[in-house]
Amino acid sequence: MTRPLLALTTGEPAGIGPELVLAAARRWDGLEAEVVAVGDPDMLAERARALGWPVEVVACRPDEPLPPIRDDHLPVWPVPLARRSIPGRLDPANAGYVLATLDVAIDACRRGAADAMVTAPLHKGAIIEGGHPGFTGHTEYLRDACGVDEVVMMLATDRTARPLRVALATTHLPLAEVAGAITTDGLMRVTIILAEELTRCFAIPAPRIVVCGLNPHAGEDGHLGREELDVINPALERLRAMGIDVIGPLPADTLFTPRHLAHADAVLAMYHDQGLPVLKYAGFGQAANITLGLGMVRTSVDHGTALDLAGTGLADAGSLRVALQVARQMTARVH
């Protein structure tokens, strides 16, 4: 295939997203892809000057060919800020700008003008305060924009003896709502997407998925909660009958040990802070956030906006580089 085109959104303008994009552009590290940023080119050029980085920011039209990728050069599909942004200072007036960058990248992927989208971090609070009260995150926004019923959030790192991939049965929910959100049918849908995408995007022909229980000790036969008996086990039994290789439910406090992970292609955790702290401990800054089930490739960083680092040039672009590489690898397999 020809070199894929990755549309890279610049995220919350007051956070580290813009300078991560600029840092990536300073040294593309042999990335076998073309990259176009989506954001405000004047803001990016201003940040580059403030940091003393010799990155040439060039506004491009989405319908024109991009120049070949080269270090210290950043083509940009322009989206104008609503108001000039200052590093470290959130401004809800720019909430619509952040969402507009996503819309441009999504549209490009859906009509074939881009092969994948990669996203720098956004700030949920700023978007909510900017007039979007129902916003809960990239994952859910992309799901709705792509018109699909279910997507799966998965983080992955290769900074372990075997690649560690952790998918989530639920995403950005208050902990008090998690148990009620886990259903047999919902777990089946998530696991089917996970298994299909591991095969399609990661070339794993028969993925083995290890599943966490919800409760301590996986419920201990109903003495510490019945969700394993009433909800999770029935889902796993039906999945096995479909030929999907699922193990569990296992206690989350012992699942993430070499004995259980040695032959696992992915872990399915029941909620955000059950599985992701382990993955981020193992590979923080060297992991990618991947949305499965969209019908297109989307990856992102494994961290937030780090407002305290914005404008300093000290933010580590490692996770963004991983997200770009993973997006390139996934596009090579699905096209």
| CA 297 centroid distance within chain | 10
pLDDT at residue 1 is higher than 70: no
Placement of tokens 């919350």 in the chain: 12
pLDDT tens-digit profile of 215-266? 999 999 999 999 999 999 999 999 999 999 999 999 999 999 999 999 999 9
Write out the residue range of the structural domain in which residue 183 sits: 150-293
Binning pLDDT at 50, 70 and 90, where does residue 35 land? very high
The confidence score (pLDDT) of residue 16 equals 98
pLDDT at residue 335 is higher than 80: no
pLDDT at residue 333 is higher than 90: no
Binning pLDDT at 50, 70 and 90, where does residue 63 land? confident
CA-wise closest residue to 330 among 159, 167, 48, 118: 118
The confidence score (pLDDT) of residue 21 equals 98
pLDDT at residue 161 is higher than 80: no
The confidence score (pLDDT) of residue 234 equals 98
In this structure, the answer to whether residues 66 and 129 fall within a common structural domain is: yes
Q: What are phi and psi of 151, to 5 degrees?
A: -130, 165
What lies within 8 Å, CB to CB, of 323 at 6+ separation is 118, 119, 288, 289, 299, 300, 301
Binning pLDDT at 50, 70 and 90, where does residue 324 land? very high
| Rounded Cα distance, 59 and 48, in Å | 15
In this structure, the answer to whether residues 75 and 157 fall within a common structural domain is: no
| Rounded Cα distance, 159 and 283, in Å | 5
In this structure, the answer to whether residues 133 and 154 fall within a common structural domain is: no
- The arithmetic mean of pLDDT across residues 37-43, rounded, is 98
- The arithmetic mean of pLDDT across residues 17-43, rounded, is 96
In this structure, the answer to whether residues 191 and 329 fall within a common structural domain is: no
Binning pLDDT at 50, 70 and 90, where does residue 162 land? confident
- The arithmetic mean of pLDDT across residues 43-72, rounded, is 94
Q: What is the pTM of this model?
A: 0.93
| CA 132 centroid distance within chain | 21
- The arithmetic mean of pLDDT across residues 138-161, rounded, is 92
155 burial type by CB count under 10 A (0-12 exposed, 13-18 middle, 19+ buried): buried
Write the CA distances from 306 to 193, 230, 303, integer angstroms: 32, 41, 8
In this structure, the answer to whether residues 138 and 214 fall within a common structural domain is: no
Give the whole-number percent of the chain exceeding pLDDT 70: 99
pLDDT at residue 283 is higher than 90: no
In this structure, the answer to whether residues 141 and 4 fall within a common structural domain is: yes
- Which of the pair, 1 or 124, is modelled with greater confidence? 124
In this structure, the answer to whether residues 162 and 277 fall within a common structural domain is: yes
| Rounded Cα distance, 11 and 37, in Å | 10
In this structure, the answer to whether residues 140 and 24 fall within a common structural domain is: yes
CA-wise closest residue to 315 among 36, 24, 9: 24
Placement of tokens 């382990």 in the chain: 278
- The arithmetic mean of pLDDT across residues 158-173, rounded, is 90
- Rg of the Cα trace of the chain? 20
- The arithmetic mean of pLDDT across residues 111-140, rounded, is 95
Q: Report DSSP letters for 14-43, one per residue.
A: TSSHHHHHHHHHH--TT-SSEEEEEE-HHH
In this structure, the answer to whether residues 13 and 34 fall within a common structural domain is: yes
The confidence score (pLDDT) of residue 95 equals 97
The confidence score (pLDDT) of residue 298 equals 97
Strand-by-strand arrangement of the 164-168 sheet:
56-59, 73-78, 34-39, 5-9, 116-119, 297-300, 287-292, 152-157, 164-168, 266-269, 208-212, 245-250
The confidence score (pLDDT) of residue 160 equals 79
Q: Structural domain tally of the chain?
A: 2
In this structure, the answer to whether residues 272 and 132 fall within a common structural domain is: no
281: domain CATH number is: 3.40.718.10
Write the CA distances from 53 to 247, 306, 321, integer angstroms: 50, 20, 18
| Rounded Cα distance, 94 and 299, in Å | 23
In this structure, the answer to whether residues 225 and 107 fall within a common structural domain is: no
Rounded to the nearest integer, the mean pLDDT of the chain is 95
In this structure, the answer to whether residues 319 and 267 fall within a common structural domain is: no
| Rounded Cα distance, 213 and 221, in Å | 11
